[in-house]
Every structure is written in C-alpha cells, then in structure tokens.
Structure 1
Amino acid sequence: MEFQHELIIPNEGLPFKIFLFEGSRGNYIREKHWHTSIEIFAVMEGELLFYINHEKYPLHAGELLIVNANEIHSVHALKTNKTAVIQIPLRQFEGYFTAQQFIRFEGGVRGGKDSGNPSDKRLISLVQRLYNVYAEKRNGYDFRTISLYYELLYLLVTQYRVTEVEEKELRHNRHLNALSRITTYMREHYREELKLSDLAEMFGYSDAYLSRMFREYAKVNFKTYLQDIRTSYAYRDILNTDHTIGQIALDNGFCSSRGLSKDFRKRYGVLPSEVKREKKHKAAEQETDSLK
C-alpha cells in the first residue's frame, strides 16, 4: 500500500486546522495519503482534481468535497486555484460515532450549479466565511471563528452523517485506527521522553510489530515520526511566539537547538533561524506599510 499517514496539527488556539491549499500556484500533486481527521476542500477560484479510493472527483470554483477519516486520497492541482481547507479531528464528533471511533459523511463533490441540496450552498458558504473571518483577523474574529465552526459541525452531523455502513468498511477503519490511536497519544505527549518499547507495551504490541506498523502505514520509522511531530509544533511556535530557538527546542521535546535545527532543515529545507528572520522581516514591512 503506497500511501502515507499525514500528521495534522490544529491552528494555535483552535480545535481544528484551517488554511489555504498549498498547491495554489498549480502544477502540484499531493500524493496518496490518509489521516484520521475529516477534511473539507472548498474551491473559491480555479479547480482541483481528487482521487479518493480510486474514484475521480473534479472540483471547480463554488464546489467543495468532504474527505472522510481513513480515506486514501490524492490531490492534483494542475491549474492555479484558491482553495480553503478545513481539517477536523475525529474526536470532535464523539457522541455521534456510528461505531467505535467511526463516523462517515456523504462524500463526493457538493454544491455546483446542478446541486439540488440546499444544505450544500449553506455548507460552502460556511466554509468560505469561516476562512475569511479567520484570515482577516478583525476585532472579535476568534469568537466568530468558533461560532461558525460549531455551526459547520452541526450541519455536518445533522445533514451529512451516514448512519448505515457495511461491516467491511468498519473492519478497514479498525485496521487503520490501530496506528492512529498510537499517533494521537504521541501528539499529546510529544514533549515527554517516548520510547517505542514503552508504547508497544502500553498498546499491547511487540516492539517488532509496532515498528512494522509505522513502516507499513506511516511510511517512516517510529523515531522519524516522533521527530516530525516535534518539528511541526516547533514550527508553529516559531510563527506564533517570540521565544528563542533554544527555548522552543526544549518546549517541544528536543534536547537542544542543534537537534531541532537538524530535523527542521531535513523537513522544511531551511533552518529555524531563517524562518524567524523572515517572520521579523514581514512584521517590519507590515508596520512600515501601516505608517504610510
């Protein structure tokens, strides 16, 4: 199975992640991957091409697509586009699971001129408004962002939740959930010292079996995945705090700033100090513009 498990970290201060799709310039392909979050793509300009479990889904401006947890999918952005993406952790839907750790929503392309479902237009409008409010960050945006988010969750569980599923689908879901439960624990305890042997014992696996799970489904070994989590959170801290690189390294489970820099460069192609300088440069430019 040639696909990867994607690590998803919510935006600072939010229970979900929202951003513009990274393939906005076109000529971009996001290879096959999966995650335990519910993902919504809303195309505001341009178009995208999705493949979900071998099914093809063209997506145009004014349309959105719901990707369910554990669905293997890829995204082809051959042309320029502006696409808002929302990733909702599965635990947000506790109390609405059809089975243990399982919930599914009506997938496929929603909206468009041929849509006969009035909820589709409402869903698309909610996603676009949610992105605009969060991106503009006007006074009170944090309250409005959360308000729109819960309105979105309400619409999903009342209008799009599928209540009848086949046993085959549940078995497949349980198969991938075995790893996702472990990676969720790692994301919650990444600042601590985590060992493969300790996690294997905690979740009832042998060291060898757990190591094989990471290689087969996450496509990386345990240590790389753990450092990936720490590096991702460190990146967020660099963008959202004024802490030193050394402090950020220690706050995110690294022994030193040198260790962070090594893994950071491997993942992002730049050093943490470069990102920090670029952040300061953009802040200075914005301050200069505001004085004009």
Structure 2
Amino acid sequence: MEYSHEIIVPNDDLPFKMFIFEGSQGGYIRQKHWHRSIEIFAVFDGEMEFYLNDKRYPLHPGEFMLVNSNELHSIYAPKKNKTLVIQIPVATFERYYTDDGFIYFSHSSRIQDEEVMGLFEEMYHVYAEKKNGYEYKVQSLYYRLLYLLVSKYRKTDLDAEKIRANKKLNKLSTITDYMKQNYSKELSLESIARTFNYSPTYLSRMFRKYAQMSYKTYLDDLRLRHAYNDLMNTDLSIGMVAEKNGFAGSKAFARVFKEQYGVLPSEYRKKN
C-alpha cells in the first residue's frame, strides 16, 4: 500500500475522518486515552501493539483493531509502519444501540476478513486521488464498511461493568474535551473541579477509577502529544515548545518527555 505522509482529515466532504497514523515513523508511544468515536487502525506494513483495558493485542500486516467508544486504549509503535486510521462518530450507529444507549464491537481476530482490509485500502486510494465523483465512491465503500460492522462485529451481550464504565467515561469526556481546548493554560485539578462543580477529591477519584490514571498523568500526556508534534515538525527551541504547550518550563517538559521516550527532547529531535 503506497502512502503519502500527508495527514488526511476530511470534514466537509465525508461523514467520517480518515488519516495516516501519526506514529508511522516509529518510536511512538501513546498512553491510555479514550474518545467517543469508533476508531479503526488498519496495518498494511510493519507492526504495533495495542493495549485495550490492559490486554495486549499485537497487530501485523493485514490486521486491524476496532476501538469502541469510551474504551481505554494505548498504543506502542516502536518501528516504522503503514497504518490507516478511520474515525466514525458513534452517533452513526444510533439505530443499533442497546437498551442502555451503547454499542460495542468485537476485537476478535477470528472474524477479521480480507474484505474489510480491502475496503480500507480502496477508500484511502480513492480519496487520495480525488478523481471526479470520488466523494460518492468513498461513501459507497464507507456504507459497506458500516454494514459489515453492524452485521458481523457488533456484540449485544454486554456485561454491566462495561456499560457503567462507558457512562462514567462519557462524563469524563466532557471534562477532557475542555482540557483539550485549554491544555496550554493553567489547568490545576482544583480549577477544573470548580468549573464542573465537583470536589477535587471526587474528580481525582473518577480519573483513577475509570480512566485508570491520575489527573496529572492525563494532563501531562495531553500536553506531551502537542509538544511532540512541535518538537518534530517545527524549529522552535525546547523552551518555546514547553511554554507553548502548557509546561511550567523546559525542565518539566524534559522530565515528562524522558519518562515517555527514554531520552531528552533534544536527543530525540537530533536522532529523528
């Protein structure tokens, strides 16, 4: 599968998002996180590791991973890879929600088939070439994908704990959406708790129990993601990268970066 390294994020012309995985050059770590969209990672070359609720799922060429709405996951991609990411708004599947207003897709590799991988590849190429009428062609492939998801991968026998965790992470998503918009500003636990009418203790407990991480860890990782992009794609100094992304200073940025990548930001930039 041939890729350009251009990130493709259609908005007006398609009802979903499709782009090249940001960790395609390797040396990539993404800590635990969650989102409301259904997310699919399709690997065409190379390999990576997914962790869903602390369970390891290695991915190899020809395999893909379905990440459910509000499902905790992390990604480890140490080597170069060719991976396509598709994000589908969860509301797309509203007609297929369970009685609890929830939809869940299987992760089992036993039911993966070549047709789905073929759809991913064709969708990407048609969109990248943008020939006359490409929107209709891509959407026809997209609706075939939706059909396969609800007819072959959807699960209805959900346990109560999955449903409960989904509801709690939905509440947390309102808070983290606010944090994503304001990550470069001062965001103490106490200030966020006041904004959303929680006590700091209760909010801290919500993060630890349902996001399985501390509030500070989530905030550091959020800032680190943006700082990483600036580090690799701009000529900003390390201090400017830190300041732009909400870190207290270059030392605080370096500490968080080294915890994640094992080296200082300056060393990582030089190497890569």
> Structure 1 length normalisation: TM-score?
0.60
- The letter of the residue matching 2:109 is V
- The letter of the residue matching 1:69 is S
Equivalent position to 1:251, from 244, 253, 265: 244
Note if contact 2:106-2:155 (Cα within 8 Å) is conserved in structure 1: no
Structure 1 distance, partners of 2:245, 2:75, is: 31
Structure 1 distance, partners of 2:33, 2:8, is: 24
Tell me the residue number matched to 2:189.
196
Distance 1:109 1:190, change over 3 A: same
Structure 2 distance, partners of 1:142, 1:191, is: 36
Structure 1 distance, partners of 2:129, 2:231, is: 21
The more displaced of 62-71 and 224-233 is 62-71
Tell me the residue number matched to 1:160.
149
1:55-70 aligned within 5 A: 62-70=62-70
Is residue 217 from structure 1 mapped to residue 210 from structure 2 by the alignment? yes
The more displaced of 174-183 and 146-155 is 146-155
Note if contact 1:66-1:108 (Cα within 8 Å) is conserved in structure 2: no
- The letter of the residue matching 2:34 is H
Distance 1:33 1:199, change over 3 A: closer
Deviations 1:232-276 (A, max 9, x none): 210111112222222211211123222211221122211111122
**Secondary structure of 1:217 counterpart:** helix
Note if contact 1:66-1:109 (Cα within 8 Å) is conserved in structure 2: no
Note if contact 1:84-1:128 (Cα within 8 Å) is conserved in structure 2: no
Tell me the residue number matched to 2:268.
275
Note if contact 1:105-1:156 (Cα within 8 Å) is conserved in structure 2: no
Please report the RMSD computed on the Cα atoms of aligned residues, expressed in angstroms. Answer: 4.7
Deviations 1:112-137 (A, max 9, x none): 6xx5xxxx61x312434567x6xxxx
> Structure 2 length normalisation: TM-score?
0.64
Structure 2 distance, partners of 1:223, 1:182, is: 14
Tell me the residue number matched to 1:19.
21
How far residue 107 of structure 1 moved from its aligned partner, in angstroms, is 5.1
Deviations 1:180-220 (A, max 9, x none): 33223222211111121222233332111111122223333
Distance 1:59 1:262, change over 3 A: closer
Quick one: percent identity of the two aligned structures? 37
How far residue 72 of structure 1 moved from its aligned partner, in angstroms, is 6.0
The more displaced of 35-44 and 184-193 is 35-44
Tell me the residue number matched to 1:284.
none
Q: How many residues align?
A: 244
Structure 2 distance, partners of 1:60, 1:272, is: 29
Unaligned 5+ segments in structure 1 are 1-10, 25-29, 134-139, 280-292
Structure 2 distance, partners of 1:246, 1:219, is: 30
How far residue 226 of structure 1 moved from its aligned partner, in angstroms, is 1.0
- The letter of the residue matching 1:196 is L
- The letter of the residue matching 1:238 is L
Structure 2 distance, partners of 1:58, 1:262, is: 29
- The letter of the residue matching 1:183 is T
Note if contact 1:53-1:72 (Cα within 8 Å) is conserved in structure 2: yes
Unaligned 5+ segments in structure 2 are 1-5, 10-16
Tell me the residue number matched to 2:224.
231
Tell me the residue number matched to 1:35.
34
Structure 2 distance, partners of 1:261, 1:59, is: 30
Tell me the residue number matched to 1:285.
none
How far residue 229 of structure 1 moved from its aligned partner, in angstroms, is 1.1
Structure 2 distance, partners of 1:130, 1:259, is: 42
**Secondary structure of 1:64 counterpart:** strand
